Amino acid sequence: MGRLPLSVAVFASMLVAGPLLGQNVPGPGPVKELPNAALPPELDRVIRDYERAWRAGDAVALASLFAEDGFVLQSNRPPVRGRAAIQAAYSGQGGGPLRLRAFAFSSADTIAYIVGGYGYGDKPGDTGKFTLTLRRAPGEPWLIYSDMDNPNAAPRHQSAPHASSSPELPPAH
C-alpha cells in the first residue's frame, strides 16, 4: 500500500474510533460551591450599593456606580460603554432580590477586582458568576470600570424560528 492510501486509511480509522475513545470518560463531578471571601469595607460597599440599586430598579443609581467610561458586558448582549448607555441598558431591569457574594478580590492604589457569584432571594447556590474591575482616583471611592457576568446554566435554545419565548438574560453586576 502506498503512503497516500495508507495515510487516508489511518485518518479514516481515527475519525471512526475517535468518538469511541471518549465514551468512557466520566462526566463532571458534583460542583462544590466556592467559599465567600470577606471584602474590605470599601469594596464591599460597591456590591452592596449595587444590590440596593438593583432591588430598587434604579437605573440612575446603578449607572452612578460606574466610571464615566465604564463597561457592562452582559451575557447574550452587545457590550455597553459609558454611564448614559449603562443607564439606558439598565432601564426596566432590576427590582428583584439580587444577592452578590465575592469569591476573590485584590486591590492596589487605583485598580481592584472582585470575582463572585450572584443569586436571587433565599435560593441556595449561585445562579451565575461575575467579575467587577474597579478603579478610582487616589483617595476617591471605587467605581466599576467593567462588569461582566454570565449564568451558570446553559442558555435555553428556541426549538423553532417562530418561537415567541426568548432565553432569560441575567443581570449585569
AA letter at 163: A
Collapsing DSSP to helix, strand or coil, 161 comes out as coil
Query: Quick one: which H or E segment has residue 148?
Result: strand 143-151
Each residue's pLDDT tens digit, 28-42? 556 678 999 999 999
Reduced to 3 states (helix: H, G, I; strand: E, B; else coil), residue 167 is coil
CA distance 48 to 154: 27
Model pLDDT, residue 109: 93
Report pLDDT digits (tens) over 48-67. Answer: 999 999 999 999 999 999 99
Q: What is the pTM of this model?
A: 0.73
| pLDDT score at 5 | 56
- Distance of alpha carbon 74 from alpha carbon 172, whole angstroms: 5
Q: Which residue has the higher pLDDT, 95 or 59?
A: 59
The torsion of the CA quartet 155, 160, 162, 166, rounded to 10 degrees, works out to: -10
